[in-house]
């Protein structure tokens, strides 16, 4: 396997540090718009293993599908791994297809709001642009694996595992994500700093959150798309008790890929996503929206065109740098409710916890970006060994979950040494 990874930010940097411990690939090209950042990732990741020479750095403009294709061809890439903001999904996706490479990302093509029209008919949903090209990828004999991070990604793998092994009927697949993380300034005072891209946080949290219900689809004659609908931002707050010392966190509906992926491959009556944002972040997001600072279209300021959202993201700390000042754990998982294989009611939370102290000590990466980065690397290894295979445009639910979860949890060096958990509630 020859991998072109685009993006050397927090997640890309962590992915390189994780991947370099494994033997499944021949080449990993770390490409970024900022060549020096790619070079730094290559140098620091390569230093983790004696004699390591499989990583090289390159510069690429992720907004140019022709440049992506050219770089993939130059290095004979068999797989293009997208590790940048979701606004660059489509050019990287198209570039991989043009280059004859398989593709993997951690966030899907962006939605477009049409608030005055019925959602399923007029709204461009997360991933719609990519899913519409499934025939092209199948005809080319190539695979595009969408949403293979932690959420989406590992949460979707958990849902497939629950469907195959734990439940005979699923009433709800409810992704629930929460943390007890805190970031401190140089004086030891708690301060605000997002754990991942603020640009992405604004995008997914202020967009209308999506829910899918089978009853709506069946009422429309079995049209899966008619099952999707939206709610107002931050709807239906609930207090969810997260495991391993995190405790109760208030979670709200957020627009997220799981809801757009799970109904396409799994049988459930309802699919939801709720995220533990916290009162402070919700207040900040509402203020940004009120002031128009969530806008992506440029405004002219003293003769210069700037995107308000880009400015907000630029003035906040880089998520890749806050690890030394961060404390706590983050949890990603799926609460599955329905009927167990024994015919009895069942309610089970499948989850994965990442501890910042551990990820900083072992990888020099803060826990949010590390937890996101480990899953695409596991998936790439399964693809490299042929355990996972296929063509077209697919989500993680399309593949057998057991090999993934086994490899993730198996102790090093055979596996990734990152166990997952399961609680009946």
The reported pLDDT for the residue numbered 216 is: 95
Tokens of 343: 């015919």
Q: Which residues pair with 248 in a beta bridge?
A: 241
- Which DSSP state fits 112? B
Average pLDDT over residues 255-281: 94
- Which DSSP state fits 113? -
The reported pLDDT for the residue numbered 113 is: 67
Model confidence at 111: pLDDT above 80: yes
Pick from 151, 276, 255, 252: nearest CA to 203 = 255
The reported pLDDT for the residue numbered 275 is: 93
Average pLDDT over residues 83-105: 96
pLDDT tens column, 384-401: 999 999 999 999 999 999
**142 vs 296, higher pLDDT:** 142
The reported pLDDT for the residue numbered 120 is: 53
90 membership: H or E segment, kind and range: helix 89-99
The reported pLDDT for the residue numbered 352 is: 98
pTM for the whole structure: 0.92
The reported pLDDT for the residue numbered 121 is: 56
- DSSP-derived 3-state class of residue 417: coil
Tokens of 372: 């996101």
Model confidence at 112: pLDDT above 90: no
Tokens of 24: 């499944």
Please give the mean pLDDT across all residues of the chain.
Answer: 93
pLDDT tens column, 150-173: 999 999 999 999 999 999 999 999
Model confidence at 201: pLDDT above 80: yes
The reported pLDDT for the residue numbered 304 is: 87
Model confidence at 194: pLDDT above 80: no
Phi, psi of 206 (to 5 degrees): -95, -15
Average pLDDT over residues 284-290: 89
Model confidence at 339: pLDDT above 60: yes
For the ranges 11-15, 121-125, 273-277, 280-284, which has the lowest average pLDDT? 121-125
pLDDT tens column, 291-323: 888 888 888 988 888 898 989 888 888 777 888
pLDDT tens column, 56-78: 999 999 999 999 999 999 999 99
The reported pLDDT for the residue numbered 115 is: 52
Average pLDDT over residues 13-31: 97
Rounded Cα gap, residues 247 and 314, in angstroms: 32
pLDDT more than 70, % of the chain: 98
Tokens of 319: 């998520």
Start-to-end CA distance of the chain, whole Å, equals 42
On whether the CB atoms of residues 159 and 336 are closer than 8 A, the answer is yes
Pick from 4, 3, 9: nearest CA to 84 = 9
Model confidence at 122: pLDDT above 70: no
Pick from 207, 293, 195, 290: nearest CA to 254 = 207
Angle at the Cα of 157 (from 151 to 159), degrees rounded to 5?
Answer: 95
Average pLDDT over residues 271-295: 89
Model confidence at 188: pLDDT above 90: no
Pick from 134, 274, 165: nearest CA to 210 = 274
């Amino acid at each position: 396997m020859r991998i072109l990874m685009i993006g050397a930010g927090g997640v890309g940097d962590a992915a390189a540090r994780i991947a370099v411990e494994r033997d499944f690939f021949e080449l990993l090209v770390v490409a970024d718009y900022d060549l020096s950042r790619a070079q730094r990732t290559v140098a620091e990741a390569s230093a983790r293993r004696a004699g390591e020479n499989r990583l090289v750095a390159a510069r690429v403009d992720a907004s140019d599908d022709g440049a992506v294709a050219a770089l993939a061809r130059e290095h004979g890439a068999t797989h293009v791994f997208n590790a940048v903001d979701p606004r660059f999904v489509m050019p990287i996706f198209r570039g991989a297809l043009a280059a004859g490479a398989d593709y993997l990302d951690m966030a899907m093509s962006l939605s477009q709001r049409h608030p005055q029209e019925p959602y399923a008919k007029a709204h461009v949903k997360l991933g719609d642009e990519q899913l519409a090209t499934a025939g092209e990828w199948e005809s080319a004999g190539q695979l595009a694996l969408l949403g293979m991070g932690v959420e989406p990604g590992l949460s979707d793998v958990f849902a497939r595992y629950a469907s195959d092994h734990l439940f005979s009927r699923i009433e709800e697949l409810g992704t629930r994500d929460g943390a007890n993380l805190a970031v401190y300034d140089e004086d030891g005072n708690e301060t605000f700093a997002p754990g991942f891209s603020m640009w992405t946080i604004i995008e997914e949290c202020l967009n209308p959150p999506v829910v899918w219900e089978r009853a709506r689809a069946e009422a429309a004659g079995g049209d899966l798309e008619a099952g999707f609908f939206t709610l107002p931002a931050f709807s239906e707050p609930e207090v969810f008790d997260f495991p391993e010392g995190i405790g109760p966190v208030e979670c709200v509906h957020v627009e997220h890929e799981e809801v757009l992926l799970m109904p396409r491959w799994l049988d459930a009556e309802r699919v939801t996503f709720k995220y533990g944002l916290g009162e402070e972040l919700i207040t900040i997001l509402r203020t940004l929206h009120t002031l128009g600072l969530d806008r992506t279209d440029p405004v002219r300021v003293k003769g210069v065109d700037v995107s308000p959202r880009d400015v907000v993201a630029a003035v906040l700390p880089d998520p890749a740098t806050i690890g030394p000042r961060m404390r706590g754990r983050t949890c990603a998982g799926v609460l599955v409710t329905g009927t167990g294989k024994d015919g009895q009611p069942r309610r089970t939370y499948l989850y994965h916890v990442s501890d910042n102290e551990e990820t900083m000590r072992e990888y020099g990466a803060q826990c949010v970006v590390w937890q996101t980065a480990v899953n695409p690397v596991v998936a790439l290894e399964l693809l490299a060994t042929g355990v996972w295979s296929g063509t077209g445009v697919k989500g993680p639910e399309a593949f057998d979950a057991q090999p993934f979860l086994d490899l993730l949890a198996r102790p090093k060096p055979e596996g990734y040494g990152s166990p997952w958990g399961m609680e009946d509630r």
